[in-house]
Chains A and B, each alone.
Chain A
Amino acid sequence: MIEVFTAKKIITMNDAWPTGTAVAVRDGVILEVGTIETLQPWLSQHEHRFNDTFKDQIIMPGFIDPHLHPVMAAVLLPMQFITALEWKFPWETVPATTTPDGFKQKLQHYHESLPVGEPFFSWGYHKHWHGEIGRPMLDKIFGDRPTVIWQRSFHEVYLNTAMLNQLGIEEDKVRDRHQIDYNNGHFYENGLSYAIGKLNAIIMSPEWINHGLTRLKQLAHFGGHTTLGDMAVGLFDDLIKEWETGRAIMGGSDAPFRVLGVAHINRIRAEQGDHIKGVAFAKTLPELNTANYRFTNKIKMFTDGAFFSQLAMLQAPGYIDDHLGEWLMVPEDFEAAARVYWNEGFEIHVHCTGDLGLELALDTLEKLQWERPRFNHGFTIEHFGFSTPEQVQRIKTLGANVSANVYYLHELSAAYSNVGIGIERAHQMARVGACEQADILTAFHSDFPMAPAMPLHSAWVAITRENCDGDVVAPELCMSLDRALRAITIDAAAILGLQNETGSIRAGKKADFAVLDQDPYEVGAGGLRDITILATVFEGRVFPISALDNVQTNV
């Protein structure tokens, strides 16, 4: 049976056949897009029905987030958000809490609304807004309830006495330790890792992770996604165990999306012993595939440290305070490992945050191309924090792709101008406009939970380059609206190697749609964040976003 979805406008993201008002679908696959009239040759010969649910709406290809971390997200999502900025989730809208009194009242409220004895975890505390807190104050509010207050940056945590006792953290062991303030229950930076080691029994428990993954599933649907990339399977745990944990929640027949997994090279090496055995193992991973939870021939590698922690490796002149970044793989090990996978035909995705990290990736790629040239090799720069104009040309010449976290420039361009690297380089972070000019295949990702999994919001950032202070940074690097929408649909599909399966609406592809209340090309950049996603269609099945969930995508 053919199902014909009608719409006010169908935006296909196929330049050669850009729009329509009806799309015919059979067995989850698109037969043709056009108008009811042009579809007649199909409809006159086959049984069909019309689905007019979206006749007044806009249909786009389902959105694609090619890089997020389900298990990491699952650790965070069960916590109660109490934040200085508003966050919108399918299950609640978290209002902005911007004063110490407001924060205290929120804590009091949650304490009173929870069953006796149930632990309380909160994320989002920031001293700038919420004032000083500490163990005495938490004890006063929460009494015997074990309580954890996680700071917004993830790098600090406050525990009350009940939680310290529950975790067996004893005063005489931690009293004189670096970056642990026992009196205040405050564990920060290096001291945090000790607390996390103890907290793992809770936040890595199957119950917690499954709850978090369930929320991620809702969240991804809410953002209009029909395809996700798990861009480092094995990040936290035994690779296959982690994969199966994710699949159990997000890979069922009720899931409104497919997940493409890219395995973490160092996890494989640790489990298999070396990269030669590792690549042989990586080739067997597709044997685990189900219809919509899959591995292909991709591998995830790493050059330099976290962008949010200023551990990116920079070329001269480096950081203003002269601190060093961090290599996540020793450079010569990186090259040797890349060679093994390159020569076996793998598509290499490299986490690169700084311009020296990027330089290592590009130097390596150039050597590998010299040794054994490949076309369509899928070598992809992930994150793309700091870069130079000259490196963009090199990415193009070497045939590499870019999957960028453009949210960096929204959240950090102002801060890093003052503390970090100075305005010139800070304003040019996430150089995606230059990628468009060089015609490099470019996608956007959230790296969730590093940034909100809201594709239209990412597109808005790339087009406007407006940061959180409302300033436009390096407007010369703004992307066009069309290219930004490609970066969350067809170009993101190509980054994952799924461009023949999804990412645009054309004959032969899977019927993956996002249903919008407004036309992005009509509302323009300024209106993107006000567009509401009403439903998704995954392989022909409709997944409404419920009325309760039906809030704007603006964060």
Chain B
Amino acid sequence: MFDLPISIVAGYLGSGKTTYINRRLNNSGGVRFGVLVNDFGSLNVDAELIEASDGVTVALENGCVCCSMEGGLEQAADQLRAIAQNIDWVLLEASGVADPTRLKDRVLSWPEFELKETLTLVDATRIKQLTQDKFIAGHIRKQLEEAENFIITKQDLMSSDQLPELQTWLQQQRVRPSFSPEARPPRFLAEKIEFDEPQSKQTLETWLNNLDESTLRLKGFVQLQDQPNKWHLVQWVDQQWTITPHTSSKPNQTGLVRISAAPRPHPSQINPKITPELAR
């Protein structure tokens, strides 16, 4: 019920996946990210940024790649499961030549994770040429065909009339309806909620039932009026919640963390520019 939300970030080499992930980490708004890098041996995501946001990076260094590059994914996912309490959201950086359908199927089969969105990054200057490449044309075309949301990078290298033309062209490459028509917005806000004093269980329940509709998840530790010596774990996702007795000693972090869909900044504030609406 309280699966870890996960976003797939797809796109070929040089399309800006790492930059994009680093930027999200930079603007984490308090969200603790786990980052999975599905590219055997490469780890360009800024580890310090992740640590600064209390998140973790798991590179896919283990696993058998004799059959498939995805061999190490499962072990990495297991590492994240083990520390799920300390993570709010997972970003999976797909390999540059990942087959998005296969990768989605893989993630959908994972217990304790919930696939929230798939983002496809395209390099404005290179994407058309890549769809003709001798070796990777098939994978690039499939990434475009199956994309839910495009993010066009390196727009600053294009002239103003080239961009609309590229957007139209990208729309034409898509052959399938969106896998998740209500893909979550890609930016989040985490806020810390601390009650001044222990609440009654009834008050807390009422509050949980009436959380703001922008809420994506909420979790943390609280004390209840009738059991002041006990800490309770509160978890909320998709309008469902639980309150479970946890421990009598004070947890490292108390209070609740609410993650919500953040208002989207104006595109000019972001570099490289993003246009997630394009695929809708």
Which of chain A's residues have a CB closer than 8 A to the CB of B108? 177-178, 190
Q: Map CB proximity to A onto B83-122 as digits: 1 under 8 Å, 0 otherwise.
A: 0000000000001110100100110111110000000000
Tell whether, in the assembled complex, residue B95 and residue A330 are in contact, meaning their CB atoms are under 8 Å apart.
Answer: yes
Chain A nearest Cβ from B90, distance in angstroms:
16
A356 to B133 alpha-carbon distance, docked (Å) = 12
Which of chain B's residues have a CB closer than 8 A to the CB of A266? 40-41, 65
The stretch of A215-223, A302-310, A470-478 in contact with B is A302-310
Within 8 A of B (CB), among A202-254: 232, 235-237
Tell whether, in the assembled complex, residue A270 and residue B61 are in contact, meaning their CB atoms are under 8 Å apart.
Answer: yes
Closest chain B residue, CB of each to CB of A357: B135
A189 to B139 alpha-carbon distance, docked (Å) = 21
B270 at the interface (CB under 8 A from A): no
Interface of B is mostly: loop
Given the interface pairs A193-B74, A236-B64, the reply to whether A270 lies near B59 with Cβ below 8 Å is yes
The stretch of A111-119, A282-290, A320-328, A532-540 in contact with B is A320-328
A173 to B3 alpha-carbon distance, docked (Å) = 9
A236 to B261 alpha-carbon distance, docked (Å) = 40
Tell whether, in the assembled complex, residue A330 and residue B109 are in contact, meaning their CB atoms are under 8 Å apart.
Answer: no
Tell whether, in the assembled complex, residue B138 and residue A324 are in contact, meaning their CB atoms are under 8 Å apart.
Answer: yes
Which of chain A's residues have a CB closer than 8 A to the CB of B112? 173
Which of chain A's residues have a CB closer than 8 A to the CB of B191? none
Closest chain B residue, CB of each to CB of A180: B109
A302 to B111 alpha-carbon distance, docked (Å) = 30
A329 to B97 alpha-carbon distance, docked (Å) = 8
Tell whether, in the assembled complex, residue B41 and residue A270 are in contact, meaning their CB atoms are under 8 Å apart.
Answer: yes
Tell whether, in the assembled complex, residue A270 and residue B40 are in contact, meaning their CB atoms are under 8 Å apart.
Answer: yes
Given the interface pairs A173-B111, A236-B64, A333-B13, the reply to whether A318 lies near B138 with Cβ below 8 Å is yes
Cβ-defined partner of A359 (8 Å) among B61, B67, B95, B134: B134
Given the interface pairs A194-B74, A324-B99, A359-B134, the reply to whether A332 lies near B65 with Cβ below 8 Å is no
Tell whether, in the assembled complex, residue A179 and residue B109 are in contact, meaning their CB atoms are under 8 Å apart.
Answer: yes
Which of chain A's residues have a CB closer than 8 A to the CB of B249? none
Given the interface pairs A174-B111, A266-B41, the reply to whether A327 lies near B73 with Cβ below 8 Å is no
How many pairs of residues, A versus B, come closer than 8 Å at their CB atoms?
113
Tell whether, in the assembled complex, residue A197 and residue B68 are in contact, meaning their CB atoms are under 8 Å apart.
Answer: no
Number of interface residues of A (CB under 8 A): 49
Tell whether, in the assembled complex, residue A177 and residue B109 are in contact, meaning their CB atoms are under 8 Å apart.
Answer: yes
7 inter-chain pairs at a CB distance below 8 angstroms, sorted by A residue, are: A189-B109, A193-B70, A196-B74, A305-B68, A318-B138, A331-B97, A332-B13
A356 to B78 alpha-carbon distance, docked (Å) = 34
Kindly name the residue among B1, B95, B135 whose own CB sees the greatest number of chain A CB atoms within 10 A.
B135
Tell whether, in the assembled complex, residue A331 and residue B136 are in contact, meaning their CB atoms are under 8 Å apart.
Answer: yes
A163 to B176 alpha-carbon distance, docked (Å) = 40
Tell whether, in the assembled complex, residue B68 and residue A309 are in contact, meaning their CB atoms are under 8 Å apart.
Answer: yes
Which of chain A's residues have a CB closer than 8 A to the CB of B99? 324, 326
Seen from chain B, the residues whose Cβ lies within 8 Å of a Cβ on chain A are 1, 13, 39-42, 59, 61-70, 73-75, 77-78, 95-97, 99, 102, 105-106, 108-112, 133-136, 138-139, 142
Tell whether, in the assembled complex, residue A235 and residue B109 are in contact, meaning their CB atoms are under 8 Å apart.
Answer: no
Chain A nearest Cβ from B278, distance in angstroms:
24
A72 at the interface (CB under 8 A from B): yes
A258 at the interface (CB under 8 A from B): no
Which of chain B's residues have a CB closer than 8 A to the CB of A298? none
Cβ-defined partner of B135 (8 Å) among A269, A328, A331: A331
Cβ-defined partner of B69 (8 Å) among A193, A271, A328: A328
Which of chain A's residues have a CB closer than 8 A to the CB of B67? 305-306, 308-309, 311
Which of chain B's residues have a CB closer than 8 A to the CB of A330? 13, 39, 95-97, 136
A360 at the interface (CB under 8 A from B): yes
Chain A nearest Cβ from B14, distance in angstroms:
9
Closest chain B residue, CB of each to CB of A190: B109
Closest chain A residue, CB of each to CB of B78: A197
Tell whether, in the assembled complex, residue B65 and residue A302 are in contact, meaning their CB atoms are under 8 Å apart.
Answer: yes
Given the interface pairs A194-B111, A197-B78, A327-B139, the reply to whether A232 lies near B68 with Cβ below 8 Å is no
Which of chain A's residues have a CB closer than 8 A to the CB of B96? 330, 333
Which of chain B's residues have a CB closer than 8 A to the CB of A360? 135
4 nearest CB pairs, A to B? A190-B109, A306-B67, A269-B41, A193-B74
Which of chain B's residues have a CB closer than 8 A to the CB of A235? 64-66
A266 to B71 alpha-carbon distance, docked (Å) = 13
